[in-house]
């Protein structure tokens, strides 16, 4: 077990004007669980890649990183491969071979171990990670969560003493993500592996961490225990942008000035017990019933199955979308949410039931992976291409492109290649391109996947601007907080239909499991509080 020491490390990419990492001095002790956070593009990946010599990008470097007593760039490839495990972001792209068992063995093959040893190690890992039931499967048949777990197991089979993970959960749904993080915690407690994890999903990563490091523009802004970092991000009532990424419970306690910051609902409840809080009765408000005629689109008893002999994915699904509203569909994996979007979009035709469109509606769908849309080499041309099939003059097209660049806050990135943008910027570009089709219904499939919490706020602002123009938004999402804070109506999708629909307040007040952590915390007193702001206002009134 060796410690990792950064000794005044600075790093600059070629042709870049500023340092990507500035004078980093810190020590990561053996068996520590470190969570690294910061806005997209603050240098998290660059930082992590300095710990793994094979992945260190090319550029100017000063200072040093020590692994024990050895400068890390002089580490032999064999030692680095064995001792420092590295898990990347994209579950699909990391997998090299075609079957699960071969993938588990890949690193061990590289080390040149004999068959019997590999068999032993692979068997061990498969057992530990619960992979034995899908050991012989083709990797293409696995779910995203299983793929990422496989990547982790394949790295762990090499028995590293340091495990570096670069946003490993950003492409996973919350359930798979929390399973992944739980597995990490188990690894950490069982084997004492040093874990360095960069994450956006701080809600779940914070309780796991021994130390949190916040990076800001390539510098260490603050580091310490989760509570210390929470306090440091909100000094003198002036929140650092990363403050918005903190777990909402920490933000609530911080903003209300309630002392010790809790990491779990249980800790938070215990602390609130000390205060004399009133229990508020729950009154269900009658939602003003909108008639179908004011809807811009409606589905009526839609049934859909993919194959003749398969079970129906949608079972008598009915829903209506009204102009200028933001409708969020929540629900687990594989319940038919994405299929429902494709039906609304018109890409799939229902086998029974009707899809009704009112007044010359046009619909556009933003796919889950924005890369599926990009064809051009610059951001500008990408947007321009989106207009190619419209009958407009060249000047009009240029004007509209310009307008969209401004709306999506992409003007400064106009000549960048879409593939060089960060996840959040790609998402914005995709939405921009789709909006150029002038839809009055915008469908979004998991728009917050892989976005940093800071950028989520920008995205929400942009989408609110659109609803103000009368565009209706229908969004499928796993992100409970994002839905709670922004939507007009929420619905829970289960077993092929929407089982409950209501305003976010009523919707989440009725839910026990599927709700925001603020709601879970304050439920005993007031079930109607779902967002951090509401909770904060209520608590401040009470105290």
Partner 1 sequence: MDTISFNKFRYSEFSSLHPLVIAAFFLVGCSVVMVCSSPVVLLTAFFSGLLYLTYLKGISSFFPQALSGVCIIFVMAVINGFFTHDGNTVLFYLNANRITLEGFLFGANAGAMLSSVVYLMQILSAMLTSDKIIYLFGRVVPSVGLLISMVFRSIPLLRDRFFQIHSAQRGIGKTTHGFFSNIRLRTKEFSILTAWSLESSIETSDSMAARGYGLKGRTSFHLFRFSSRDKYLLAFFLVVGILFAAGIACGFTTVYFYPDFRMIAPFHMQLLFAAGFGAFLLTPFIIDLIGDRKWKKFDLMG
Residues within the interface to partner 1 (CB under 8 A) = 52, 54-55, 77-78, 80-82, 85-86, 88-90, 92-99, 101-102, 105-115, 118-119, 122, 136-141, 151, 154-155, 158, 342, 345, 347, 362, 364-369, 371-375, 386, 389, 419, 433-434, 437, 443
CB of 486 to partner 1, least distance (A): 22
User: Min. distance of Cβ 362 from partner 1 in angstroms?
Assistant: 7
CA 11 to CA 57: how far, in whole Å?
9
Interior angle at CA 231, CA 274 and CA 166, nearest 5 = 120
Write out 84-129 in H/E/C secondary structure.
Answer: EEEECCCHHHHCCCCEHHHHHHHHHHHCCCCHHHHHHHHHHHHHHC
CB of 141 to partner 1, least distance (A): 8
Do 3 and 206 contact (CB within 8 A), yes or no? no
Q: Which is nearer to partner 1, 173 or 203 (CB)?
A: 173
Identity of the residue, 112 or 288, whose beta carbon is nearer to partner 1 in the bound complex? 112
Residues 6+ apart with CB under 8 A from 542: 275, 277, 278
List Cβ<8 Å contacts ≥24 apart for 503-508. Answer: 503/285, 503/287, 504/328, 504/530, 505/285, 505/530, 506/284, 506/285, 506/287, 508/480, 508/484
In angstroms, the CA 223 to CA 196 distance is 13
How many CB atoms are closer than 10 A to CB 201? 21
For partner 1, give the closer residue by CB, 347 or 396.
Answer: 347
CB of 385 to partner 1, least distance (A): 9
Q: Which is nearer to partner 1, 54 or 396 (CB)?
A: 54
* Residue 100 Cβ vs partner 1, minimum distance, rounded to whole Å: 9
Closer CB to partner 1, residue 49 or residue 527?
49
Give kind and range of the element (H or E) at residue 531.
none
Residue 360 tokens read as 């010359």
Least Å distance, CB 51 to partner 1, is: 11
Q: Is 501 left (phi over 0), alpha (psi -120 to 50) or beta?
A: beta
Beta carbon of residue 375, minimum distance to partner 1 (angstroms, whole number): 6
CB closer to partner 1, 445 vs 506: 445
* Closer residue to partner 1, CB minimum distance, 416 or 501: 416
């Amino acid at each position: 077990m060796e410690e990792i020491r950064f000794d005044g490390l600075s790093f600059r990419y070629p042709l870049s004007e500023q340092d990507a990492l500035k004078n980093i001095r810190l020590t990561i002790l053996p068996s520590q669980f470190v969570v690294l956070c910061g806005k997209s593009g603050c240098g998290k990946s660059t930082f992590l890649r300095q710990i793994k010599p094979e992945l260190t990008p090319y550029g100017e470097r000063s200072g040093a990183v020590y692994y024990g007593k050895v400068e890390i760039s002089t580490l032999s490839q064999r030692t680095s491969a064995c001792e420092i495990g590295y898990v990347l972001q994209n579950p699909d792209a990391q997998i090299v071979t075609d079957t699960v068992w071969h993938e588990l063995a890949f690193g061990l093959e590289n080390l040149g171990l004999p068959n019997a040893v590999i068999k032993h190690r692979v068997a061990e890992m498969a057992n530990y990670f619960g992979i034995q039931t899908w050991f012989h499967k083709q990797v293409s048949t696995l779910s995203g969560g299983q793929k990422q777990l496989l990547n982790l197991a394949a790295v762990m089979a090499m028995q590293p003493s340091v495990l570096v993970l670069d946003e490993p959960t950003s492409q996973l749904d919350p359930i798979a993500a929390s399973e992944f993080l739980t597995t990490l915690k188990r690894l950490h407690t069982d084997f004492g592996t040093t874990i360095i994890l960069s994450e956006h999903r701080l809600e779940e990563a914070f309780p796991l961490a021994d130390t949190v490091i916040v990076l800001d523009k390539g510098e260490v802004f603050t580091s310490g225990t989760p509570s210390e970092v929470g306090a440091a991000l909100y000094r003198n009532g002036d929140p650092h942008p990363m403050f918005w990424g903190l777990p909402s419970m920490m933000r609530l306690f911080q903003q209300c000035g309630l002392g010790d910051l809790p990491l779990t609902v249980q800790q938070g409840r215990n602390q609130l017990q000390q205060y004399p809080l009133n229990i508020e009765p729950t009154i269900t408000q009658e939602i003003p019933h909108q008639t179908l005629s004011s809807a811009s689109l409606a589905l009526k008893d839609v049934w859909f199955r993919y194959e003749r002999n398969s079970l129906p994915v949608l079972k008598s699904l009915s829903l209506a979308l009204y102009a200028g509203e933001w409708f969020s569909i929540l629900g687990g994996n594989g319940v038919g949410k994405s299929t429902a979007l494709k039906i609304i979009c018109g890409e799939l035709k229902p086998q029974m039931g009707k899809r009704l469109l009112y007044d010359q509606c046009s619909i556009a769908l933003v796919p889950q992976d924005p890369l599926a849309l990009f064809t051009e080499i610059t951001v500008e041309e990408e947007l321009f291409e989106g207009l190619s099939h419209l009958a407009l003059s060249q000047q009009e097209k240029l004007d509209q492109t310009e307008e969209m660049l401004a709306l999506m806050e992409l003007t400064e990135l106009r000549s960048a290649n879409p593939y060089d943008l960060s996840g959040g910027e790609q998402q914005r570009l995709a939405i921009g391109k789709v909006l150029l089709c002038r839809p009055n219904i915008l469908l979004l499939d998991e728009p917050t996947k892989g976005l940093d919490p800071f950028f989520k706020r920008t995205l929400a602002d942009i989408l609110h601007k659109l609803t103000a123009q009368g565009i209706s938004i229908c969004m499928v999402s796993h992100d409970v907080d994002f839905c709670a804070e922004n939507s007009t109506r929420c619905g829970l999708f289960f077993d092929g239909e929407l089982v409950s629909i209501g305003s976010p307040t009523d919707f989440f007040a009725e839910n026990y499991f599927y709700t925001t952590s603020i709601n879970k915390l304050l439920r005993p007193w007031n079930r109607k509080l779902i967002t951090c702001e509401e909770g904060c206002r209520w608590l401040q009134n009470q105290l």
